[in-house]
Chain A
Amino acid sequence: MSVHVFGIRHHGPGCARSLKAALAALAPDIVLIEGPPDADTVLPLAADEAMQPPVALLVYPPEAPDLAVFYPFAEFSPEWQAIRYGARHRIPVRFIDLPQTCRLADRLAQRQQAQAEPPDEPPGAETVEATAPPPEPEEAEPPDDLTRDPIGVLSEAAGYSDRELWWEHQIEQRQDPTGLFEGILTAMTALRSHAAPPKEEEARREAHMRTAIRAAEKEGHQRIAVVCGAWHAPVLAERGPAKDDAALLKGLPKAKVAATWIPWTHSRLAYRSGYGAGVASPGWYRHLWQARDRAPIRWVTDAARLLRQEDIPASSASVIETVRLAEALAALRRLPMPGLAELNESILAVLCQGAPAPLKLVRQRLEIGDVLGAVPEDTPAVPLQRDLETQQKQLRLKPSTEIRTLELDLRSDTDRARSCLLHRLRLLGLDWGKPARVAGAKGTFRESWTLHWQPEFVVALIEASIYGNSIEQAAEARAGKAAAETADLAALTELLDRTILAALGRATTTVLERIAAQSAASADVQQMMKALPPLARIIRYGDVRGTESTQMQRVFDALFQRAVIGLPAASANIDDAVAQALIRDIGAVQESLDLLELAQPKEDWRALLQRLLADEGIHPMVRGRSCRLLFDQTALDETELQRQARLALSPAVAAAAAAGWAAGLLQGSGLRLLHQDGLWVALDAWIDQLTPEVFVELLPLLRRAFSDFTAPERRGMGEKVKNIAHLAAGLAAPGSRPDGDDDIDHERAALVLPVLARILGVDRHG
């Protein structure tokens, strides 16, 4: 009877390869792995052919799925290789770590306590913890360097500045695995003898692992293979008396937990996604695992092919030079073979010719790589699914493949929660409900949905479960990802709207930050102006769900300032179509400002409009519009309006420009303009002097300019035109008003009198 302890690093391809060889040599009759025994029930699924790493084991309390703990496995994870070995040889495989029933019980208790007290911590902290890594030496509060970072101490002793690098060179890139695990055991024994004894949870975990090994021995297994993190190896090899461990494990709390497998991705394995004990370069590890020999050459060739796909020249000659440089660098740094750092540096210097952008591509596509795992169909439901089911039950929203309509009144709590859920699901790509137009209802508190459940949604849920374990969490993460992936301001504003509807506070913040960042980088003034109205609406009417409006205000201000600075340049040298679009956006900005009633921006805006109006280089339509907006805000008086009109419509101005100016000025409802006789006189004079050909040419533009006028306004204008000669005369000789009586249509005037009388409260006949 013998126990063999293999100390490994999680996700170490070198360890995995050595372990595979060692297991083959040992031919154990049972494999014990550092992992949650709670998952033993779903462990057999790992043998299923449909199970494709990267996958993660998920252990979670059914009533609080967001506390779930993930144990990710990649193809190159030693644990995965051990599981597969067991499955292939039909020998028992067992997880021996302290069960999550105990560990999660602690966390659940903590949470209940926290809920009893006022929460002073954003829920985010908890999520990070939930996705925190399985057992690692560096977890828990570090009493000293040695316990926190044992490998760091070793690498320092070996003269390495980077702790990862030392392990990488010594263990993962080792060609000959003989004696590797003995070496690791010796090194770790030496380290542990100087380290402080393990604290509470770690002590209990090690005690549990030892107990499990003893149990396997008792069952009569002859060759027991134990696969665990290197740090734990020494204390599992030297097990000591059983009763100490039994004492440690006595009376632990227990919580109900469930376990399942979910597909995982390489990017989630990487550090980047904030996953603690991940690996920085899963793609590189996979490469090391798959390409046994000439890994550097294959790597550079892969990179070159990738660059070629993206139309970046990468010749074979350059590949050769890259490999040569990498090898020279490795020699200079006294390494047995080039590592990822050397390869990256060489690719940058030769293939990318010093430009960092293509290297980023290599980092994303090769170093991390886009690999998505798969799990067999009969895998138990994921927590996300359960969360949805719970919410469906709570909100009495039954999934049905029948299409039906749902009317919501957002003033009721239940309906608001329903709306929230549907919006969140939409963010996750589950269009169970589609918003329908509210027919005839007034106010913003009504929502109408068309509900249609489709069976494929289950698959979508499993896919979405990599984003989180509750609908809220997942939707939030998904929205955050979408925000990071798009650079388009309009799309981002739309996303903002959706996150607000879905009541995702943190995602809203993320999107807002992204909008702020993108607006700084963007030179597209129109996009910025388009983003303003939704923001203004949210700031003005508030957000029922209490999104932080000061932040919105800040983003709004920044966007607005940038738009103000960029607008003059954006309105010069453009054609009519662009100008038309631009004045719509200018109008939108004006509306937003009117909505917000902020003094300083309004003043800045007026100053800008004045500038636009005065600048001859600006497109005439924009100038006309500026004139109109200034007039509407009474920042321009009647005399000035007349002067501007005469100026813009004087014969010296090209006909097309003058028409554009007029179009810009006249668009939109024009009640106030109607009373500007001077304007009409100027316009009349201008039209008079047009040649017939030019007039015909300009007609569509002018017609469009008047199309926004309401029927009474148009009629009123017709009247004006009829009397234009009078008006002109009146203007020419101020003081002598035209004889008004002749202008009045007595019949029509009489129609108004009864109403007027009632309004004024006089008895007409009295």
Chain B
Amino acid sequence: MSTPAPANAPTADGILRQHAEIQFAEELAALAEADDKAKPPNWMLSPWAVRTYLLGGKLANGFVVQPKYIGNGRLIEIAVATLATDRALLLLGVPGTAKSWVSEHLSAAVSGDSTLLVQGTAGTDESAMRYGWNYAQLLAEGPSERALVPSPIMVAMRAGKIARVEELTRIPSDTQDTLITILSEKTLPIPELAGEAQARKGFNVIATANNRDKGVNDLSSALLRRFNAVVLPVPDKFDEEVEIVSRRVAELGRALELPAEKPALEEIRRVVTIFRELRDGVTADGKTKLKSPSGTLSTAEAISVVNGGLAYAGYYGDGVMHAGDLAAGLTGAVIKDPVQDKIVWLEYLKTVVRERDGWKDLYRACMEVVD
């Protein structure tokens, strides 16, 4: 679930972030060359090669492919198999579980193009999913193919490529449902031109959505039925998560030029422990069950708590992060619902934190903030 640095990064001058297919062009080329297995129509690589591209591996000619996704390889296999059977793929997970990252690399490997992207927001309308019009042209000529502005999805249909829809559940429900026709009939009617855009082989949709984010637009069952859902989990192992948090914190700290010292690993471990325990609803030793708060408590939030603590220690404290600097951030991260989450947090503090050896400082600091 980390995003390792590429072996080769041909950065064009001034571009902050390259598309996957450009950044990893060499790997894709090597894979294509070594790939001797059957490819589904319009795929750049065979499903086996796509799998290797995402999970990493060594090719027959000795070329080493970097892993793009570190975690359960079986999930990637399900994703690839889904695309190969022509079903749309829905990647679910809490924020920070590499959904978009996986989606980008899958499209890069399958279609060689990860740019056909619709970013889902509350303001995404039908023209972003279907097509819009160039109004000057429309007024001058009336409805015509030239006046039509195709959406990324329409482009993908015509080219037989993969279209990506990010944050599908943030899109209003009526706009979401535009996808139903596209996914089941594989065509997009254009009544203004009395025609339609028919998808070529190789067209598919990868959507990502947050499965903890309640209160946004749930998918209708008609739409959900057209997707195969793969849930990307939060980091499996404690040490893996600590590693991700420390690395990101170090990077961010440098970028923001925080005056505090590098955080002690011990504090990070405590934050990660608290996050994992509350998220899993059970203490690390597996002995005590806990209530889980309503928030997601993702790794990304753990990073921001530590970062906040660092900033606090740097600007208002003695420059070294202590429990007191973390307490406010921790409490804020856990208590998202002022009534229920407060109960959860208090219970956790009183039954777990208080009893733990060497955690008294954290207990006192947090109780001060909560009460």
Interface residues of A (CB under 8 A from B): 313, 315, 317-318, 321, 324-325, 328-329, 331-333, 341, 345-346, 348-350, 352-356, 516-518, 520-521, 523, 558, 561-562, 565-566, 569
Cross-chain contact A521 with B289 (CB below 8 angstroms): yes
Interface residues of B (CB under 8 A from A): 47-48, 51, 74, 77-78, 80-82, 84-85, 87, 90, 92, 211, 221, 224-225, 227-231, 281, 288-291, 339, 343, 346-347, 350-351
Cross-chain contact A354 with B90 (CB below 8 angstroms): yes
Cross-chain contact B343 with A561 (CB below 8 angstroms): no
For A325, give its contact among B228, B281, B290, B347 (CB under 8 Å). Answer: B228
Contact partners of B80 in chain A: CB under 8 A: 332
For B81, give its contact among A317, A325, A558, A562 (CB under 8 Å). Answer: A325
Cβ distance B41 to chain A, nearest Cβ, rounded Å: 15
Q: List 21 A-B contacts (CB under 8 A).
A: A317-B225, A321-B87, A324-B87, A325-B81, A325-B87, A328-B82, A328-B84, A332-B80, A332-B84, A341-B74, A346-B78, A349-B229, A350-B229, A353-B90, A353-B229, A354-B230, A520-B291, A520-B351, A521-B291, A558-B288, A566-B343
Complex Cα–Cα for A209 and B90 (A)? 57
Chain B, residue nearest A328 (CB):
B81
Chain B, residue nearest A354 (CB):
B229
Contact partners of A331 in chain B: CB under 8 A: 47, 81
Contact partners of A329 in chain B: CB under 8 A: 77-78, 81
For A353, give its contact among B48, B224, B289, B291 (CB under 8 Å). Answer: B224
For A354, give its contact among B74, B231, B339, B351 (CB under 8 Å). Answer: B231
Cβ distance B174 to chain A, nearest Cβ, rounded Å: 21
Contact partners of A566 in chain B: CB under 8 A: 343
The 7 A-B pairs with the shortest beta carbon distances in the complex, nearest first, are A354-B229, A520-B289, A328-B81, A517-B289, A349-B228, A329-B81, A354-B231
Chain B, residue nearest A317 (CB):
B225
Chain B, residue nearest A525 (CB):
B343
Say whether, besides A325-B85, A354-B231, A349 and B78 are in contact (CB < 8 Å): yes
Contact partners of A324 in chain B: CB under 8 A: 85, 87
Complex Cα–Cα for A594 and B41 (A)? 78
Say whether, besides A354-B229, A354-B230, A321 and B350 are in contact (CB < 8 Å): no
Complex Cα–Cα for A328 and B228 (A)? 13
Cβ distance A128 to chain B, nearest Cβ, rounded Å: 20
Cross-chain contact B81 with A516 (CB below 8 angstroms): no
For B351, give its contact among A352, A353, A561 (CB under 8 Å). Answer: A561
Complex Cα–Cα for A523 and B344 (A)? 10
Cross-chain contact A520 with B290 (CB below 8 angstroms): yes
Chain A, residue nearest B89 (CB):
A349
Cβ distance A637 to chain B, nearest Cβ, rounded Å: 26
Contact partners of B221 in chain A: CB under 8 A: 313
Say whether, besides A354-B229, A354-B231, A565 and B347 are in contact (CB < 8 Å): yes
Complex Cα–Cα for A520 and B348 (A)? 10
Say whether, besides A521-B289, A561-B347, A565-B347, A353 and B81 are in contact (CB < 8 Å): no
Cross-chain contact A345 with B225 (CB below 8 angstroms): no
Cross-chain contact B290 with A345 (CB below 8 angstroms): no
Complex Cα–Cα for A356 and B346 (A)? 29
Cross-chain contact A562 with B228 (CB below 8 angstroms): no
Q: How many A-B residue pairs have CB under 8 A?
A: 90
Chain B, residue nearest A566 (CB):
B343
For B74, give its contact among A345, A353, A521, A562 (CB under 8 Å). Answer: A345
Cβ distance B220 to chain A, nearest Cβ, rounded Å: 12
Cross-chain contact A350 with B291 (CB below 8 angstroms): no
Contact partners of B48 in chain A: CB under 8 A: 332
Contact partners of B289 in chain A: CB under 8 A: 516-518, 520-521
Cross-chain contact B228 with A350 (CB below 8 angstroms): yes
For B350, give its contact among A353, A355, A523, A565 (CB under 8 Å). Answer: A565
For B227, give its contact among A353, A558, A569 (CB under 8 Å). Answer: A353
Cross-chain contact B229 with A333 (CB below 8 angstroms): no
Complex Cα–Cα for A102 and B132 (A)? 86
Chain B, residue nearest A349 (CB):
B228
Cβ distance A204 to chain B, nearest Cβ, rounded Å: 41
Cross-chain contact A345 with B78 (CB below 8 angstroms): yes
Chain B, residue nearest A568 (CB):
B343
List 6 additional A-B contacts (Cβ < 8 Å) besides A354-B92, A354-B211, A354-B229: A332-B48, A349-B228, A350-B229, A355-B229, A516-B289, A561-B347
Complex Cα–Cα for A518 and B290 (A)? 9
Complex Cα–Cα for A516 and B350 (A)? 14
Cβ distance A486 to chain B, nearest Cβ, rounded Å: 15
Contact partners of A352 in chain B: CB under 8 A: 229
Chain A, residue nearest B91 (CB):
A354
Chain B, residue nearest A604 (CB):
B350
Chain A, residue nearest B90 (CB):
A354
Contact partners of B87 in chain A: CB under 8 A: 321, 324-325, 350
Complex Cα–Cα for A517 and B282 (A)? 9
Contact partners of A348 in chain B: CB under 8 A: 229
Chain B, residue nearest A327 (CB):
B85
Contact partners of A562 in chain B: CB under 8 A: 347, 351
Chain B, residue nearest A572 (CB):
B339
Contact partners of B74 in chain A: CB under 8 A: 341, 345
Cross-chain contact B291 with A315 (CB below 8 angstroms): no
Contact partners of B90 in chain A: CB under 8 A: 353-354
Q: Which of A318, A354, A518, A521 has most B Cβ within 10 Å?
A: A354
Cβ distance A225 to chain B, nearest Cβ, rounded Å: 40
Complex Cα–Cα for A565 and B225 (A)? 43
Cross-chain contact A565 with B82 (CB below 8 angstroms): no
Cβ distance A557 to chain B, nearest Cβ, rounded Å: 8
Contact partners of B351 in chain A: CB under 8 A: 520, 558, 561-562
Complex Cα–Cα for A573 and B281 (A)? 28
Complex Cα–Cα for A341 and B290 (A)? 31
Cross-chain contact A349 with B230 (CB below 8 angstroms): yes
Cross-chain contact A561 with B350 (CB below 8 angstroms): yes
Cβ distance B113 to chain A, nearest Cβ, rounded Å: 22
Cβ distance A650 to chain B, nearest Cβ, rounded Å: 29
Contact partners of A517 in chain B: CB under 8 A: 288-289
Complex Cα–Cα for A524 and B288 (A)? 18
Complex Cα–Cα for A644 and B141 (A)? 83
Cβ distance B107 to chain A, nearest Cβ, rounded Å: 18
Complex Cα–Cα for A348 and B231 (A)? 9
Chain B, residue nearest A522 (CB):
B291
Cross-chain contact A565 with B288 (CB below 8 angstroms): no
Complex Cα–Cα for A329 and B51 (A)? 12
Complex Cα–Cα for A518 and B289 (A)? 8
Chain A, residue nearest B283 (CB):
A520
Complex Cα–Cα for A569 and B350 (A)? 17
Complex Cα–Cα for A325 and B78 (A)? 8
Cβ distance B49 to chain A, nearest Cβ, rounded Å: 11
Cross-chain contact B343 with A569 (CB below 8 angstroms): yes
Cβ distance A162 to chain B, nearest Cβ, rounded Å: 11
Chain B, residue nearest A324 (CB):
B85
Contact partners of B82 in chain A: CB under 8 A: 325, 328, 349
Cβ distance B348 to chain A, nearest Cβ, rounded Å: 10
Chain A, residue nearest B227 (CB):
A353
Chain A, residue nearest B290 (CB):
A520
Complex Cα–Cα for A565 and B346 (A)? 7
Cβ distance B202 to chain A, nearest Cβ, rounded Å: 16
Cβ distance A698 to chain B, nearest Cβ, rounded Å: 32
Cβ distance B185 to chain A, nearest Cβ, rounded Å: 14
Cβ distance A535 to chain B, nearest Cβ, rounded Å: 16
Contact partners of A518 in chain B: CB under 8 A: 289
Cross-chain contact B228 with A321 (CB below 8 angstroms): yes
Chain B, residue nearest A318 (CB):
B225
Complex Cα–Cα for A566 and B227 (A)? 41
Complex Cα–Cα for A348 and B281 (A)? 23
Cβ distance A377 to chain B, nearest Cβ, rounded Å: 45
Cβ distance A296 to chain B, nearest Cβ, rounded Å: 14
Complex Cα–Cα for A99 and B288 (A)? 45
Complex Cα–Cα for A355 and B78 (A)? 15
Contact partners of A313 in chain B: CB under 8 A: 221
Cross-chain contact B77 with A333 (CB below 8 angstroms): yes
Complex Cα–Cα for A566 and B288 (A)? 18
Contact partners of B225 in chain A: CB under 8 A: 315, 317-318, 353
